[in-house]
Chains A and B, each alone.
Chain A
Amino acid sequence: MTKKKKSILSDQRFIVLLVVIALTAVFSVMSKEFRQYNTLLSLLDFSYYDLLMAIGVTFPLITAGVDLSIGTGMVCYALIGGTLIRSYGCPVIVAMLVCVLLGVLFGAINGSLIGIMNLPPFLATLCTCMITRGIGSLCSATPWPGLTQEGGWFHSIYKLTIGTGRSADRYPIGFLWMVLMVLLMEFVLNHTKFGRYTIAIGSNKEAAALSGINVKFYHVMVYVVCGLFVGLAATAYAAVTPTVQPGTGAGLEMDAIGGVFVGGVAASGGYGSILGTFVGIYVIMLLKTGLPYIGLQANWQQIITGIVLIVAVLIDILKEKKGMQ
C-alpha cells in the first residue's frame, strides 16, 4: 500500500475556492456595477441564511439523507416570529428564540420520522416541507421591525450600520459570525462524538450499530442540529427580507443543498466538510448575484442552480467510479 501524498490541489475545497476567486474576477472585469461595495454587501447579506441552512443540511447529507424542509421551514419560522412581534408585541429576542426552538422542534420531527420510524429521508422531509409551508401560509405577510424601528437592533447582528441614511457606514459583521460558526461546526464534525457518529452513520450504519453506538439517537440528533441552524437562518432571513411572504421558501433549500454538494459532500454519504460547504455556498451566491450583472435575467438563476447541483453530484459520482477501478 503506497500512501499517496495528498496535494492541496486534489482537495475539492481548494479547487472550489479557486472557482470562487475566478468567478469574482470574471464578474468584476465584466461589470463595473459588480465591483461596488454595495454589491458585496448585498451578496453577503443574502448569503447568511443560505450558509446557515447549508451548514445545517450538511449533516443530514453526510448521513446520506437530506432535509428538503429547510427552505419552507425557515420562512415559516420567520413568519411566526414576525407575527409574534407584530400581533402579540413580543420582544424581538423572544421571537428569535422562538425561531430557533421551532427549528429544533421540526428537526426533531424529521429526525424521528427518519431515524426511528425509518421513513425515506426525502419523503419525510418533503412532507414536512409541505407542512411548514402550509403553517407559514396561515400567517399573514409580516415585516420584522426595520432598522430604525424599535427592536431593529437585531439587524446589527448581521450588518452594523453606523450613521443614518445614504451616508451611513455599513459593516458586514455577519460574515465574521459565519466564519466563527463554520470553524465551530467543522470542529464539531471532526472532533466530537456527534460529528464522528454522523460520519459513521453515513459510511456504514450497520457497523456503527454493531460497535454499540446508539444509532437512533444520533440519527435524530443529526436532524435536530440541522433544524437548529434553520432556526438561526430564519433570523438572518428576517434581517434581510423587508416583508416575509407566506407561501414562499420553496426552492431556497436548493441553493443550500446545491452549495453543500459543490463543497464536496459525497452523494453516497460518509464524507463532508463544513469548510467545503462554506466555499460551495459562495459559488452559488456569486452566480446568483453576479449573473444579472452580466445580462442574464434573474430567472436563469433557478436553472443554473439546478444544473450546478447535477454537475456537482455527477463529479462526485464519476470520481467515486474512478476510485473503484
Chain B
Amino acid sequence: MSEVILTMKDIDKSFPGVHALDHVNFEVKRGEVHALMGENGAGKSTLMKVLTGIYQKDSGSITYKGKEVEFHNTREAQDAGVVIVHQELNMVGDLTVAQNIFIGREPKKGFRIDDKKMIEDSKKLFRELNIDIDPKEKMHNLTVGKQQMCEIAKAISHKAEVIIFDEPSAALTEKEIADLFVIIRDLREKGLGIVYISHRMDEIKVITDRVTVMRDGGYVGTLVTAESSKEDIINMMVGRVIYEDPKQHSMVAPDAPVVLKVEHLNAGKMVQDVSFELRRGEILGFSGLMGAGRTETARALFGADPKQSGKISVMGKDGQLHEVTINSPQDAVKYGIGYLSEDRRRYGCVVQKSCIENTTLATMEEFTSGLLINSAKEKEVTERYIKELATKTPTADQLVVNLSGGNQQKVVIAKWLTRNSDILIFDEPTRGIDVGAKNEIYKLMNKLAAEGKSIIMISSEMTEVLRMSDRIIIMCEGKVTGNIDISEATQENIMNKATRNID
C-alpha cells in the first residue's frame, strides 16, 4: 500500500507582486493521509488550486498515476479522480442536496433528469458515510457543517482517487469532526490518497500519516507523523525566528481606564452574549477558530451588521464611560471607533482610487473649506502619513490597487489616524501580507498602543496573538469561552478554550 499516486515537483507560481509558490515538492501515496501544514499565506491552498486546475502553474511537473498531467480546470481534475473539498463552500443554495451532489453530471432518463435515481444515489452515499441528511432539502437550509458533509459526499461520488480536504474542520463541531475522521479512515482503508490541510495540531497527530510543511510559499520538509513531535512540526512551520518572543506580561498601565465596555452583545447566531472591556493603550487579542464569531462581534460592535441587544459604552471627552447607540458605521466612527477589515480589497479601501482619496475618506468634513475640497490640505496630510507609516508608494496620487497588501493596510490605518480614532479594530491585520511587512505592521500597532490608542486585534495566528496581545479573549461558536492575561496564556490553554464551549 505504498505506491505513490501523485507527485508534484518543483511547482512554481507567481501572481503580480507575490511569489506564491517557490519550487514546491509534494507527494501522496495510496492509503495515506498526508497533512499539508503552514501558516496563513504559506501557499497551501494555492498549491492545491494548482493541482486541481483552478490556477495554472508557471513551471514544474505533476505526475498522477505514473503519467505527467496538467489539469486545465476542475472538471478535468474531477474526471481524472482528483477532487477538492473547498474551504469556502461551493454550493448552489437554491438547489437541493441531491441536485448539488450531482450537478454537472445528472443521470438522465430521456429528456428529463432522473431525480429519483439522484435521490436514491445520494441516500446510498450518505448511508455509506453514515451521515443523516435529507437529499431533498434545499442546500441553504442546512447548517455549515452539514453543507460540508455534502461537499465531501460530492467529492467521494466522483470516484475520486485523491481527495483534498482544505481545512474541513474549521466550521465543524467536535462530533462532526469525529464523524469526519471515521469517513477519512474508511477512505484510507480503500486505498485513496488523502491530502489534509489544517491548522489544528491535535488533528494532525490523530488522523495523518505524514506531514509536509510549507512556509512563505516554499517547501520546508516532510515528516512521518508518528515519529515527530508537535514541536518539530511547529519549528518547521515557524522556521527562522522572525517573530519576537511572545509577550511575557501586559504592557498596559495597571490604572489605565476602560475606554470601551461591551455588555451582553447579541447579534444572530454567531454573537451570543458577548461581554468584554478594552482599556486605554491595550491590545486586546481575539482568538478562536474560523467561524467562532469574532469578525461578527466586531462588525456588530461597529454597526456594520444589525444586532439584537447589548449595551456598548465608550469613554467620552470627559473621561467617563457613556452608553452609546451604534446602529451604523457612521455612529461608530462618530464615537471614535475605526474598523480595519480582514478583506481589505472588499471592505477596507476603495482600491480604484488614490491614496489621498482613501486617506481622507472618513474625514471629508475636515478637508472641505466652504463647499469645495481643499486638495492641498488633503495632499499634505496624506503625505505626512505616508512618511510616518513608511508606506511604500511612488506618490500620494497612486491608485491603491497598485500597492502591496502591507501598504494597502497602511493606507487604511492612515484613514483612521486621520480621523483620530481612539479605538481601532484590526481584523486579521496581517492576512495576505508578506513576512517583512508583517513586522512593520506589528511595530506600528505597538507604537499606536504606546501612544494611548486602544486596539482590538482579531487573529487566527497563534504566534501573532501571543506576541501582540496584552490580554486575550477566546471565542467559540459565538460565545466568549476565555478571557486571560497574556502572562497566563499558552498555546495549549488558548486552544483548549477555543475548541470547547462553556456549557
Contacts and interface: CB of A to CB of B under 8 A. Distances in A.
- Direct chain A–B contact by Cβ atoms under 8 Å: yes
Contacts of A270: 92-94
Contacts of B108: 193
A178 B263 CA distance: 60
A187 B109 CA distance: 14
A271 B111 CA distance: 22
Given A207-B92, A212-B104, A187 B112 contact: yes
Given A191-B112, A196-B95, A199-B95, A211 B306 contact: no
Given A3-B137, A193-B106, A212-B78, A199 B113 contact: no
A192 B90 contact: no
B94 A211 contact: no
Contacts of B78: 212
Given A191-B112, A191-B113, A191-B115, A196 B103 contact: yes
Interface string A177-221: 000000000010001110010011011101110111100000000
Most chain A Cβ neighbours within 10 Å, of B92, B141, B146: B92
B95 A325 contact: no
Contacts of A191: 112-113, 115
A302 B279 CA distance: 61
Contact of B103 (A1, A202, A206, A208): A208
Interface string A2-43: 010000000000000000000000000000000000000000
Nearest to B114: A191
A192 B106 CA distance: 9
Contact of B112 (A192, A199, A200, A210): A192
A193 B95 CA distance: 12
B348 to A, nearest CB: 22
The main secondary structure of chain B at its interface with chain A is loop
B106 A196 contact: yes
A145 to B, nearest CB: 36
Given A1-B142, A1-B143, A203 B112 contact: no
B91 A207 contact: yes
B311 interface: no
Contacts of A202: 94
The main secondary structure of chain A at its interface with chain B is helix
Contacts of B99: 196
A210 B90 CA distance: 8
B141 A1 contact: yes
A200 B100 CA distance: 9
Nearest to B113: A191
Nearest to B105: A212
B77 to A, nearest CB: 9
Interface residues of B, number: 29
A193 B113 CA distance: 7
Contacts of B92: 199-200, 203-204, 207-208, 211, 270
B354 interface: no
A120 to B, nearest CB: 18
Contact of B104 (A192, A204, A213): A213
Contacts of A199: 92, 94-95
A204 B91 CA distance: 7
B393 interface: no
B120 to A, nearest CB: 16
Nearest to B77: A212
B98 to A, nearest CB: 11
B7 interface: no
A206 B112 contact: no
A191 B107 CA distance: 11
A270 B91 CA distance: 12
B45 interface: no
Contacts of A271: 94
Interface string A120-164: 000000000000000000000000000000000000000000000
Contacts of B90: 204, 206-207, 210-211
B73 interface: yes
B75 A212 contact: yes
Nearest to B142: A1
A97 to B, nearest CB: 23
B74 A203 contact: no
Contacts of B143: 1
A3 B136 CA distance: 11
B106 A210 contact: no
Most chain B Cβ neighbours within 10 Å, of A191, A199, A207, A270: A207
A206 B93 CA distance: 12
A276 B91 CA distance: 25
A317 to B, nearest CB: 16
Nearest to A208: B92
Contacts of A206: 90
B103 to A, nearest CB: 5
A275 B243 CA distance: 63
A306 B399 CA distance: 42
B87 to A, nearest CB: 13
B93 A210 contact: no
A192 B113 contact: yes
A279 B306 CA distance: 36
A89 to B, nearest CB: 38
Contacts of A193: 106, 108, 113
Contacts of B137: 3
A196 B94 contact: no
Contact of A210 (B74, B115, B134, B142): B74
A63 to B, nearest CB: 11
B146 to A, nearest CB: 8
Interface in A258-292: 270-271
A128 to B, nearest CB: 28
Contacts of B94: 199-200, 202-203, 270-271
Interface string A250-264: 000000000000000
Contact of A212 (B73, B141, B142, B146): B73
A203 B146 CA distance: 19
Contacts of A325: 268, 306
B358 to A, nearest CB: 27
Interface in B306-332: 306
Contacts of B268: 325
A213 B104 CA distance: 5
A206 B91 CA distance: 9
Contacts of B106: 193, 196
Contacts of B142: 1
Interface string B157-199: 0000000000000000000000000000000000000000000
Nearest to A201: B92
Most chain B Cβ neighbours within 10 Å, of A192, A206, A208, A212: A212
Contacts of B95: 196, 199-200, 203
Interface of A: 1, 3, 187, 191-193, 196, 199-200, 202-204, 206-208, 210-213, 270-271, 325
12 contacts: A1-B143, A3-B134, A192-B113, A196-B103, A196-B113, A199-B95, A206-B90, A207-B91, A208-B103, A210-B74, A212-B74, A270-B92
Give the top 4 A-B pairs by smallest Cβ distance, nearest first. A212-B75, A270-B94, A203-B94, A207-B90
